[in-house]
Chain A
Amino acid sequence: MNIVVLAKQIPDAEAHIDIGNDEKGLTIEQKFTANVFDEFAMEEALRLKEKHGGKVKVITLGAGKATEVLRTGIAMGADEVLLLEDGAFLNGDGYTTALALSRAAALEPFDVILCGRQAIDDDRGEVGPMVAQFLGIPHGGGITKLDVADGNATIECPVEGAKETIEVNLPAVFTAQKGLNEPRVPPIMGVMKAMKATIPRVTPADLGISPEEAGASGSKVKTGRYFHPKKRAAVQMIPGEPNEAAVEAVRILMDVERIL
Chain B
Amino acid sequence: MANLLLFIETKDKEPKKASLELLGEAGRLKAAGRYKIHAVVMGGMSEDAKKKALTYVDVLVNITDPVLDQYTPEGFALALAGYAKEINPQVVLASATQLGRDFLPRVAVLLGSGVASDVTEIRWSEDPITFVRPIYGGRVLSEISFTGYPAVVTVRPNTFAGEEPGTENGEYLERQGGIAPEQLKTRVIKTEESGKGKVNLIEADIIVAGGRGLKSAENFRVLEDLANTIGAAVGAARSVVDAKWRDQEDQVGKSGKTVSPKLYIAVGISGAIHHTMGMDTSKLVLAVNTDPNAMIFSYADYGIVGDFAQVVPAMTEEFKKRLGR
Contacts and interface: CB of A to CB of B under 8 A. Distances in A.
B243 to A, nearest CB: 14
B310 interface: yes
Contact of B114 (A11, A166, A219): A219
Interface string A226-246: 111100110111100011011
B213 interface: no
A220 B135 contact: no
Given A178-B256, A260-B323, A123 B118 contact: yes
A245 to B, nearest CB: 5
Nearest to A169: B185
B191 to A, nearest CB: 5
Interface stretch (A45-53, A134-142, A185-193): A134-142
Contact of A13 (B71, B137, B185, B306): B137
A81 interface: no
Nearest to B309: A242
Interface stretch (A55-63, A105-113, A155-163, A203-211): A155-163
B310 A228 contact: no
A123 B135 contact: yes
A161 B195 contact: yes
Interface residues of A, number: 80
A165 interface: yes
Interface stretch (B37-45, B56-64, B96-104, B215-223): B96-104
B4 interface: no
A259 B195 contact: no
Contact of A129 (B11, B73, B188): B73
Contact of A222 (B109, B145, B188, B273): B145
Interface stretch (B20-28, B166-174, B293-301): B293-301
B318 interface: yes
A154 interface: yes
Contacts of B74: 138
Interface residues on B, range: 35 or more
B46 interface: no
B192 to A, nearest CB: 5
B21 to A, nearest CB: 16
B185 A144 contact: no
Nearest to A141: B102
A158 B248 contact: yes
A133 B110 contact: yes
Given A137-B185, A220-B147, A243-B314, A120 B277 contact: yes
B263 A126 contact: no
A173 to B, nearest CB: 10
A221 B73 CA distance: 22
B303 A235 contact: yes
A106 to B, nearest CB: 15
B322 A250 contact: yes
A149 interface: no
Contacts of A144: 248
Interface stretch (A1-9, A65-73, A82-90, A92-100): A92-100
Contacts of B140: 17, 19, 26, 226-229
B125 interface: no
A219 B136 CA distance: 20
A120 B306 contact: no
A19 B147 CA distance: 23
A224 B123 CA distance: 13
A106 B130 CA distance: 35
Report, nearest first, the 5 A-B pairs whose CB atoms are least far apart.
A220-B114, A246-B314, A242-B310, A133-B109, A129-B105
13 contacts: A11-B136, A123-B118, A138-B186, A141-B73, A154-B189, A159-B71, A220-B114, A229-B140, A229-B141, A232-B300, A250-B322, A253-B284, A259-B284
Given A220-B146, A229-B138, 5 more contacts: A17-B136, A123-B118, A132-B106, A168-B187, A242-B310
